[in-house]
Amino acid sequence: MVLTLREKRSVHDRPTFAKAMARRKKKTVRKVRVAHELPKRRRMAIDEAMKAHRTEDRPEWDRTSDWGDVRFYRKRIKPGTLRTIHLPLLNVSLGDAWPVPVTIIHGARPGPCITIIGGIHGDELTGPSACTHLLSNAFTDEGKPLDPKSLAGTLRIVPVVNLPGYRMKSRYFPDGRDLNRQFPGDPGGSTTRRVAHQIWTHLVEDSDAIIDIHSAAKGRTNMPQVRCDLTHTSSYLLAKSFGIEIILDSIPSKGTLRRTGNTADIPVVTYEGGAADTLGDQSVKVAVHGVMNALRSMRMVPGNPQRPKFRIMASGSTWLRAAEGGLLDMFVQAGSVMREGEVVATISDPATPGMTVDIVAPEDGLIIGAATNPFTAAGMPVGHFLPISKHFALLEEQIDEHGQFIVNGSQEERVWREEHEINEISLDGEWSGGEVDSEWIGSKPTGDEKEFEEEAA
């Protein structure tokens, strides 16, 4: 039997990747410590979802199953080969169809179909860079981790899905819309909606899991973190498999790839790291590391995933806002571990020399996002703060000489840790101001997009 991507499309055979995860679980004894600090209702919803979650049998992923060519956009890829195919974002006979390169590593052995997406926002370069590393010879050559001859399943890597935006160095599509608010799209809708539909049809619908790589929007930077709706169990498992310390439990905005994917019961997580228009070594390294961890967890590539020492599952964060306007002088960065009362930033005003105002950490915690634009008005967010009072000692054990939290995967050292050695922590609270990133509004909302501009990440 030839198993094509088309044939795997049914939503009903979905839930997942969980089988591969279940295989792992059998090997290790799970003894994960959870501090019950999530709001009770949320905690119960997550527990209920986990209980209801069934590990579905996917016999077609068994090593002995028939495994043949895979199709992508009318092209055929043989098992054990890698091929780059251009997917036109628009179905047109005239004008630019915006062909986007999609590399398909079709493994020699059966397994799930995983899609890694970078550059939904054209000015966010963490995804494009991480995907490019994953496609380099260091990963895909014979004997390397993504050698198609040893890979199980199908890996599709799209370094820059919003190629028109990338070429304009813009977050948006040429029609001014945010692609990540237009899913599942519409073949007869606006330009960006048509593109979203094309991406949905060819890259999303038939994926067994999706990792969507982002960075912060212009004017700020994020420390590496994963965002996921923890009540969507297969996404929760995917988030854990990434092997990162900070997981934000957040319900994404309408029209995002993550929300729409979850609605179709596809596990989707968003990785956030670094800033727009820049390339941070740490955020790229953690992204590559996380993707490889997820693939190892799903048994697509051999080896054991590298686990963090602990996980912080957070359902609330705080915005540190400027009380005055002027020029912002940041004392800390995204990833800085703060003690209550420590100075985060100082604001001074060229019109009033000699006077400064400090912004201090309201309690012990972590700066997970920081402003990079010094122009500040009263009320503008300076930092995105995760209060971590009770489990502060865990953070302190993992900081460098500058007080920066050392994220798993950002160092060369690769220590494999068993699942049962991880302390899992939940944080209580509400996202201030709606969505996780609601304060950081994109620079160019147009017309009907305004209402969808909430989570500018």
Strand partners, 371: 220
> Which CB atom, from 123 or from 147, has the smaller least distance to Zn ion?
123
Amino acid letter at 144?
Answer: K
Backbone angles phi, psi at 421, to 5 degrees: -90, 0
From the CB of 457, what's the least distance to Zn ion, in Å? 5
For residues 193 and 100, is the Cβ–Cβ distance under 8 A? no
> Which CB atom, from 147 or from 439, has the smaller least distance to Zn ion?
439
Task: Select from 146-154, 209-217, 282-290, 354-362 the region that touches Zn ion (CB under 5 A).
Answer: 209-217
Instruction: Characterize the bridge pairing of strands 209-214 and 356-360.
Output: unpaired
Is 227 a binding residue for Zn ion by CB under 5 A? The answer is no
Task: Select from 161-169, 212-220, 299-307, 413-421 the region that touches Zn ion (CB under 5 A).
Answer: 212-220
> Which CB atom, from 330 or from 457, has the smaller least distance to Zn ion?
457
Is 214 a binding residue for Zn ion by CB under 5 A? The answer is yes
Length of the chain: 457
Count CA within 13 A, CB hemisphere, residue 172. 15
Task: Select from 122-130, 160-168, 230-238, 388-396 the region that touches Zn ion (CB under 5 A).
Answer: 122-130
Residue nearest to Zn ion (CB): 214
> Which CB atom, from 152 or from 371, has the smaller least distance to Zn ion?
371
> Which CB atom, from 121 or from 296, has the smaller least distance to Zn ion?
121
Task: Select from 9-17, 75-83, 207-215, 353-361 the region that touches Zn ion (CB under 5 A).
Answer: 207-215
From the CB of 174, what's the least distance to Zn ion, in Å? 17
For residues 266 and 210, is the Cβ–Cβ distance under 8 A? yes
Whether the link from the prior residue into 184 is cis, omega within 30° of 0, is yes
**Close Cβ partners of 34 (under 8 Å, ≥ 6 residues apart):** 424, 425, 426
Number of residues that bind Zn ion (CB under 5 A): 4
From the CB of 214, what's the least distance to Zn ion, in Å? 3
Amino acid letter at 430?
Answer: E
Strand partners, 134: none
Is 259 a binding residue for Zn ion by CB under 5 A? The answer is no
> Which CB atom, from 235 or from 426, has the smaller least distance to Zn ion?
235
> Which CB atom, from 122 or from 153, has the smaller least distance to Zn ion?
122
Spatial separation of the C-alpha atoms in residues 286 and 410, rounded to whole Å: 5
Spatial separation of the C-alpha atoms in residues 183 and 263, rounded to whole Å: 11
Q: Which of 87, 102, 104 is closest to 140 using CA atoms?
A: 104
> Which CB atom, from 110 or from 122, has the smaller least distance to Zn ion?
122
Binding mask 123-152 for Zn ion (x = CB under 5 A): -x----------------------------
Spatial separation of the C-alpha atoms in residues 281 and 421, rounded to whole Å: 28
From the CB of 15, what's the least distance to Zn ion, in Å? 27
Is 121 a binding residue for Zn ion by CB under 5 A? The answer is yes
Spatial separation of the C-alpha atoms in residues 288 and 126, rounded to whole Å: 10
* Site for Zn ion, rule CB under 5 A: 121, 124, 214, 457
